[in-house]
Amino acid sequence: MDTEGIAYLVGAGPGDPGLITVRGMALLREADVVVTDRLGTERLLAECRPDAEIIDAGKAPGRVALTQDEINQTLVDQVRAGKRVVRLKGGDPFVFGRGGEEVQALLRAGLAVEVVPGITSAIGAPAYAGVPVTHRAVSTSFTVITGHEDPTKPSEQTDWDALAKIPGTLVILMGMGRLAAICARLVAGGRPPTQPVAVVQWGTTERQREVRGTLATIAEVCARQGVGSPAVTVVGDVAGLEDLDWRPPRRPLAGRRIVVTRARAQASELRDRLVALGAEVVELPVIRIVPVAGSPEIDVALDELADYDYVILTSPNGARCLLDRLADRDLDARAFERATRIVAIGPGTADALAEGGIRADIVPERFVAEGILEALESEEVSGRRVLVARAREARDTLIDGLRERDASVDVVALYDTVTETPTPEQIAAALSADTITFTASSTVTSFMALLSPEDRTKLTALRVVSIGPVTSETARDAGLTVHAQATEHTIPGLVAALLPS
Ligand code: SAH
């Protein structure tokens, strides 16, 4: 492993998670430490390694935010400690991002740093509102300005009169609270009060809102419609162009905030599918999968693998743990006897087996324990040796059913499902979502155990969507109302149940 620490200043783009660069994403996925600001980078954090340390520079313990000096020091300390640090910054790191100061601090400390530019909101947000910052015969330049400085104060660095006189587009970041004063200043400097202005709030995100007006009217339009920070203001004739109102297609889950309670290591498929459909995903991993270590029971079963007539896997985690266990002992798919029938409870489990080169012979039509029993109805299991490899905590339906039919059943516990301990902020974020998903009974039980009595009162605002009947029953037993249940008990099935009908 590379022990040389390095910091990468990565531009996250303006908000749409698809607008980070390829290199930025690759570095983010590898980073040991990620230092973020809140604005525009939340949805990318899901890409980090599960064990990556995430430092929110926008939120210091007990205070609003780290100071710039504290951020610089954090970067220096982490790089000195040998970490690969991604400093993830909204938009482009060098556009009003104080990225320059961070690079200076790192270089002055003699440390390695690289910059990965990003798409600035100054261009990206207008683009997603159909406003090109330049346009042939309309505007041949654009100037990006901070609206942070008070245009009525003499100490200002921004020469608003000069800016008013440039014929091109003005793009103003920050300073929404000073919009009226800025517009007045530009008119006083010579821009016509009828000049078009567009304001784009939360540009490129699912929350994007935009309003149009003129230098004379825009401040009032924003006030009336409640459009405020963070927003980009575009002043110039480009803001009045027509036939440019393209828009990314509205995705079916746009505007939805959906909680994923799966173990973090297992959450990516569900998360990726939801994000692709436009949802904002709140990850609240309430469980963690811990393989059972050093169990003689498993080793005996593996030694006798070839003697089993049936090997049944009841979850993708079980399949993965079994394969890992084989690999630990320098074994692979060849450890199975050809005649052994391999049963996977559903397509996810079959896929997990396939990754280890094992094709499931039987996948039931219903992806529950009862489904396996049904699928085995036509088989002669009496007197046959059956290995059921599964979680330690699991229902006995399958085992009882097989024993009733005189099968000789061995059960091995491959993994434990343990409760995670999310922070109160993570729980609060989950409770403020509109929908919560449960992919197993254990996620329901662990989630409910995390909640305070007061948290529980907020549950009624959440739509509860479950992967199947067993999970739904656990949810109902825990006092939840289940609003939807997947018809096919798989991740794609769960996603389908989330779509508006
Ligand atoms: N480095 C960033 C800018 C940081 S300053 C960039 O290149 O985009 C913060 C300001 O950027 C906000 O006040 C707002 O004016 C603007 N901004 C950032 N993200 C935005 C977004 N998604 N939509 C509109 N404005 C945004």
CB 122 within 8 A of CB 133: yes
Q: Whose CA is nearest to atom 3 of ligand 1?
A: 96
E strands, 161-307, are 169-173, 196-201, 209-214, 231-235, 257-260, 280-283, 287-291
CB 134 within 8 A of CB 127: no
- Give the DSSP letter string of 91-132: B-TTSSS-HHHHHHHHHHTT--EEEE----HHHHHHHHTT--
**Is the pLDDT score of 117 beyond 60?**
yes
**Is the pLDDT score of 281 beyond 70?**
yes
At residue 275, the pLDDT reads 87
**Is the pLDDT score of 62 beyond 70?**
no
Residue 258 has a CB neighbour count (10 Å cut-off) of 26
Residue closest to 292 by CA, chosen among 117, 414, 446: 414
At residue 32, the pLDDT reads 97
15 Cα nearest atom in ligand 1: 22
Helix spans in 205-247 (H): 218-225
At residue 60, the pLDDT reads 62
- List, for residues 9-45, the tens digit of each pLDDT value: 999 999 998 999 999 999 999 999 999 987 667 778 8
Indicate whether residue 119 lines ligand 1 (CB < 6 A): no
Q: Would you place residue 423 in the very low, low, confident or very high pLDDT band (cuts 50, 70, 90)?
A: confident
Quickly tell me which residue has 């008990």 as its tokens: 489
- Give the DSSP letter string of 132-162: -SSBTTTBS-EEEEE--S-TTSTT-S--HHH
- List, for residues 71-98, the tens digit of each pLDDT value: 999 999 999 999 999 999 999 999 998 9
Q: Whose CA is nearest to atom 25 of ligand 1?
A: 231
**In angstroms, what CA-CA distances link 447 with 237, 392, 443?**
53, 19, 6
CA-based end-to-end distance of the chain: 49
Residues marked active site are found at 37, 59, 174
E strands, 321-448, are 341-344, 385-391, 408-419, 435-438
Q: Residue 65 corresponds to which tokens in the numbers above?
A: 């935010």
What whole-number percentage of the chain has pLDDT above 90? 81
CA of 91 to the centre of ligand 1 (A): 6
204 Cα nearest atom in ligand 1: 22
Q: Would you place residue 121 in the very low, low, confident or very high pLDDT band (cuts 50, 70, 90)?
A: very high
CA of 46 to the centre of ligand 1 (A): 21
Q: 122 Cβ partners below 8 Å, 6+ apart?
A: 91, 95, 133, 142, 144, 171, 173, 232
| 3-state secondary structure (DSSP) of residue 165 | helix
**Is the pLDDT score of 2 beyond 80?**
no
- List, for residues 384-410, the tens digit of each pLDDT value: 999 999 999 888 999 999 999 999 999
Pairing of strands 113-116, 6-11: parallel
- As a 3-state breakdown, the chain gives helix, strand, coil percent values, each rounded to 5, of 35, 20, 40
Q: 128 Cβ partners below 8 Å, 6+ apart?
A: 14, 16, 200, 203, 204, 208, 247, 248
496/149: higher pLDDT: 496
Distance CA 64, CA 204 (A): 26
Residue closest to 222 by CA, chosen among 145, 213, 181: 213
How large is the average pLDDT for residues 471-489?
Answer: 96
- In degrees and rounded to multiples of 5, residue 414 shows phi and psi of -95, -30
Indicate whether residue 204 lines ligand 1 (CB < 6 A): yes
DSSP at 13: B
Indicate whether residue 173 lines ligand 1 (CB < 6 A): yes
Indicate whether residue 202 lines ligand 1 (CB < 6 A): yes
Indicate whether residue 208 lines ligand 1 (CB < 6 A): no
At residue 359, the pLDDT reads 96
**Is the pLDDT score of 50 beyond 80?**
no
Q: Whose CA is nearest to atom 9 of ligand 1?
A: 174
Distance CA 451, CA 459 (A): 10
CA of 15 to the centre of ligand 1 (A): 9
Indicate whether residue 144 lines ligand 1 (CB < 6 A): no
Residue closest to 34 by CA, chosen among 8, 15, 60: 8
CB 165 within 8 A of CB 87: no
Total residue count of the chain as it appears in this document: 501
**Is the pLDDT score of 444 beyond 80?**
yes
- List, for residues 166-222, the tens digit of each pLDDT value: 999 999 999 899 999 999 999 999 999 999 999 999 999 888 999 999 999 999 999
Indicate whether residue 42 lines ligand 1 (CB < 6 A): no
CA of 223 to the centre of ligand 1 (A): 19
CA of 120 to the centre of ligand 1 (A): 7
Distance CA 23, CA 25 (A): 5
How far is CA 466 from its chain centroid? Answer: 20
- In degrees and rounded to multiples of 5, residue 484 shows phi and psi of -150, 150
| Model pTM above 0.75 | no
Q: What does pLDDT average to over the chain?
A: 93
- Give the DSSP letter string of 361-382: SB--SS-SHHHHHHHTTTS--T
CA of 446 to the centre of ligand 1 (A): 38
Dihedral sign for Cα atoms in the order 147, 151, 153, 159: positive
**Is the pLDDT score of 489 beyond 70?**
yes
**Is the pLDDT score of 1 beyond 50?**
no
Indicate whether residue 203 lines ligand 1 (CB < 6 A): yes
| 3-state secondary structure (DSSP) of residue 26 | helix
Distance CA 110, CA 381 (A): 70
CB 416 within 8 A of CB 391: yes
- List, for residues 148-168, the tens digit of each pLDDT value: 887 877 777 889 999 999 999
- List, for residues 230-270, the tens digit of each pLDDT value: 999 999 999 999 999 888 777 899 889 999 999 888 888 89
CB 363 within 8 A of CB 341: no
Q: 376 Cβ partners below 8 Å, 6+ apart?
A: 310, 343, 362, 402
